[in-house]
């Protein structure tokens, strides 16, 4: 399989995740071209906005068919360029995308139907209010390399169903996935310029924001997120920021340790630990910590590393050597402060330049970089704690707040702890899979960002809410309009008493006062 050949320089190279060989070259959009791209998107959006929801949904159904038909090819491109095993590409990229496409096609219309607003205040009983949902216009989707299909697709389909046009800027590390995205939407028959993919580096993302789209959906690191937020603030562009995480797993002494250890191993090493929802800090209650650690060690030793194209492989390479260096730096710091590496901790140059062994570390604490900074690599770090209280304290002692999990046989206790964790999502007895639940909002707090993608809340990020009001008594001035007089003051007194009087009798008297004031106003 080859990437689309380049027609003109400059271009981005797609690198094979194992060998580093160039496997495709893709044209880039220069920053100077971006305002024209956004202008074209505006034109397409003007024609798209009046299109009926049922027609939009049909287009999404066609997109779903394209995804279904080309699923193996999509998965292969992701695996070759990003390195994750084929099974992960099929589940976490294709399936998550397909499910989101279908869900938006079948539910968005109902979720964006105008909603009646009831009025509790009798003063406004003669009014009929409703909420209407209108598209922003042009939505910019700036996405990372770690889930190069599912992350942009879930936002694109929400945006277009809501009546927006989209300009997508994928990461320069996955240009083949970016090109494929554009191709899939084209093949499904999306109107010209409604979904445009522009390829280039960070400066192109910056230029996209400078071209003043109406909303920015950004997924990436905290550092870039801060730059994006600043650029958006200068132009008063609303944003959703899906940033890094330092997800916690709390293992209580009554947990099913066999299951919890499998979850820890999968949660730490899926996508080679390069997931925003990766399990990065594990706090374990006494009584089970030794057995839990032993099981994690044994299960990690059994993981098979290699090319993700081989279906019998569990863990692929990391994306680039800078990522590997970050993991090495954090491990070095942890070891120098007393942490112990039970297994892993080394590169595997025999497999490829970016292979790093799945690593289990114990004896860690919150003073170490490994427990503070996002690792984004194959490290499973276990810290024994005195009890659940200490686990909650440690969990919340972080700038991040994306995902978390609690492991226990006592679901009431699990949920009670879940309520105390400062994070965007908490799973009791599972990890990460909330990302695949289309109805579950995805997003964080603190350094993990703001706003939500996925779910009804993610769809609502793609619209502006308009309150529309109709008066059922359209004739005659309202009593609170000019001119003011004593009658209005008397009426105000009566209205306060009617609405907020303590006793029924007081409220009745106040109603009479209000009526008298009203009559005086009309004389």
List active site positions.
242, 276
Residues between 323 and 382 that touch ligand NDP (CB under 6 A): 374, 376
d(CA 149, CA 97): 7
Name which of 219 and 300 has its Cβ closer to ligand NDP. 219
d(CA 251, CA 257): 8
Residue 75 CB, shortest distance to ligand NDP, in Å, is: 18
Q: Which of 94, 139, 142, 406 binds ligand NDP (CB under 6 A)?
A: 142
Q: Which of 24, 85, 152, 220 binds ligand NDP (CB under 6 A)?
A: 220
CA angle, 239 as apex, 233 and 243 as ends, to 5°?
Answer: 105
Residue 211 CB, shortest distance to ligand NDP, in Å, is: 12
245 binds ligand NDP (CB under 6 A): yes
35 binds ligand NDP (CB under 6 A): no
Could you tell me how many residues of this chain bind ligand NDP (CB under 6 A)? 31
Q: Which of 265, 402, 417, 431 binds ligand NDP (CB under 6 A)?
A: 402
171 binds ligand NDP (CB under 6 A): yes
401 binds ligand NDP (CB under 6 A): no
Q: Which of 227, 309, 313, 341 binds ligand NDP (CB under 6 A)?
A: 227
169 binds ligand NDP (CB under 6 A): yes
d(CA 454, CA 443): 9
d(CA 393, CA 245): 17
Computed over its alpha carbons, how large is the radius of gyration of the chain? 27
Residues between 421 and 450 that touch ligand NDP (CB under 6 A): 442, 444
* Helix or strand (DSSP H, E) at 379: strand 379-384
Would you say 193 and 44 are in contact if contact means Cβ atoms under 8 Å apart? yes
Q: Distances in Å between the alpha carbon of 358 and those of 273, 349, 367?
A: 9, 14, 22
Residue nearest to ligand NDP (CB): 205
Residue 154 CB, shortest distance to ligand NDP, in Å, is: 10
Measured from the Cβ of residue 292, the count of other Cβ atoms closer than 10 Å reads 24
CA angle, 310 as apex, 308 and 311 as ends, to 5°?
Answer: 95
Residue 144 CB, shortest distance to ligand NDP, in Å, is: 3
Q: Which of 206, 239, 271, 307 binds ligand NDP (CB under 6 A)?
A: 206
Q: Distances in Å between the alpha carbon of 106 and those of 53, 58, 94, 109, 370?
A: 10, 9, 18, 7, 43
Name which of 339 and 425 has its Cβ closer to ligand NDP. 425
- Strand segments (E) across 429-479: 449-450, 463-471
Q: Which residues contact 459 (CB under 8 A, 6 or more apart)?
A: 104, 108, 111, 112, 158, 161, 162
Residues between 475 and 514 that touch ligand NDP (CB under 6 A): none
Would you say 379 and 361 are in contact if contact means Cβ atoms under 8 Å apart? yes
d(CA 136, CA 422): 31
Q: In what order do the strands lie in the sheet with 165-169?
A: 195-197, 165-169, 138-142, 215-219, 239-242, 449-450
Residue 440 CB, shortest distance to ligand NDP, in Å, is: 12
Tokens of 303: 């993981």
d(CA 362, CA 380): 9
Closest CA to 405 of 270, 178, 252: 252
244 binds ligand NDP (CB under 6 A): yes
Using the contact rule CB under 6 A, the part of the chain among 165-173, 356-364, 465-473, 509-517 near ligand NDP is 165-173
Using the contact rule CB under 6 A, the part of the chain among 146-154, 291-299, 338-346, 379-387 near ligand NDP is 146-154
Using the contact rule CB under 6 A, the part of the chain among 50-58, 79-87, 239-247, 381-389 near ligand NDP is 239-247
243 binds ligand NDP (CB under 6 A): yes
Q: Which of 3, 24, 135, 144 binds ligand NDP (CB under 6 A)?
A: 144
Q: Which residues bind ligand NDP (CB under 6 A)?
A: 142-147, 151, 169, 171-173, 201-202, 205-206, 219-221, 224, 227-228, 242-245, 276, 374, 376, 402, 442, 444
């Amino acid at each position: 399989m080859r990437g689309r050949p380049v027609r003109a320089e400059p271009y981005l190279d797609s690198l094979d995740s194992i060998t580093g060989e160039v496997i495709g070259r893709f044209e880039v959009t220069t920053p100077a071209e971006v305002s024209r791209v956004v202008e074209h998107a505006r034109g397409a959006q003007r024609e798209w906005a009046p299109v009926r929801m049922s027609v939009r949904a049909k287009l999404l159904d066609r997109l779903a068919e394209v995804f279904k038909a080309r699923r193996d090819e999509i998965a292969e491109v992701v695996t070759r360029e990003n390195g994750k095993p084929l099974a992960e590409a099929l589940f976490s990229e294709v399936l998550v995308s397909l499910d989101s496409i279908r869900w938006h096609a079948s539910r968005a219309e109902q979720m964006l139907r105008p909603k009646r607003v009831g009025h509790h205040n009798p003063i406004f009983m003669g009014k009929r209010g409703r909420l209407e949902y209108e598209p922003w216009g042009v939505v910019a989707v700036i996405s990372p390399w770690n889930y190069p299909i599912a992350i942009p697709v879930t936002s694109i389909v929400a945006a277009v169903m809501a009546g927006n046009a989209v300009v997508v800027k994928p990461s320069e590390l996955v240009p083949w996935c970016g090109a494929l995205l554009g191709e899939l939407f084209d093949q499904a028959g999306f109107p010209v310029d409604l979904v445009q993919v522009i390829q280039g580096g960070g400066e192109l993302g910056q230029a996209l924001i400078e071209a003043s789209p109406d909303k920015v959906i950004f997924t990436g690191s905290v550092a870039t997120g801060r730059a994006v937020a600043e650029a958006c603030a200068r132009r008063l562009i609303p944003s959703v920021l899906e940033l890094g995480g330092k997800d916690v797993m709390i293992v209580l002494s009554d947990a099913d340790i066999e299951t919890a250890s499998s979850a820890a191993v999968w949660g730490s090493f899926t996508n080679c630990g390069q997931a925003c929802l990766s399990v990065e800090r594990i706090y374990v209650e006494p009584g089970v910590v030794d057995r839990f650690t032993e099981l994690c060690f044994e299960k990690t030793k059994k993981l098979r590393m290699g090319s993700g194209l081989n279906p019998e492989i569990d863990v692929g390479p990391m994306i680039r050597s800078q990522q590997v260096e970050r993991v090495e730096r954090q491990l070095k710091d942890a070891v120098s402060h007393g942490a112990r590496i039970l297994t892993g901790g080394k590169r595997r140059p025999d497999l490829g330049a970016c292979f790093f062994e799945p690593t289990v570390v114990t004896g860690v604490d919150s003073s170490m970089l490994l427990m503070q900074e996002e690792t984004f690599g194959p490290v499973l770090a276990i810290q024994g704690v005195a009890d659940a209280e200490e686990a909650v304290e440690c969990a919340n002692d972080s700038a991040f707040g994306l995902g978390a999990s609690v492991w226990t046989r006592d679901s009431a206790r699990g949920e009670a702890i879940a309520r105390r964790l400062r994070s965007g999502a908490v799973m009791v007895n599972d990890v990460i899979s909330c990302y695949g639940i289309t109805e579950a909002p995805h997003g964080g707090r603190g350094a993990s960002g703001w706003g939500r993608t996925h779910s009804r809340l993610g769809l609502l990020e793609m619209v502006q809410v308009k309150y529309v009001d109709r008066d059922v008594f359209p004739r005659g001035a309202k009593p609170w309009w000019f001119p003011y007089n004593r009658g209005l003051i008397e009426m105000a007194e009566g209205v306060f008493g009617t609405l907020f009087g303590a006793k029924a009798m007081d409220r009745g008297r106040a109603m009479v006062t209000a009526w008298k004031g009203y009559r005086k106003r009309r004389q």
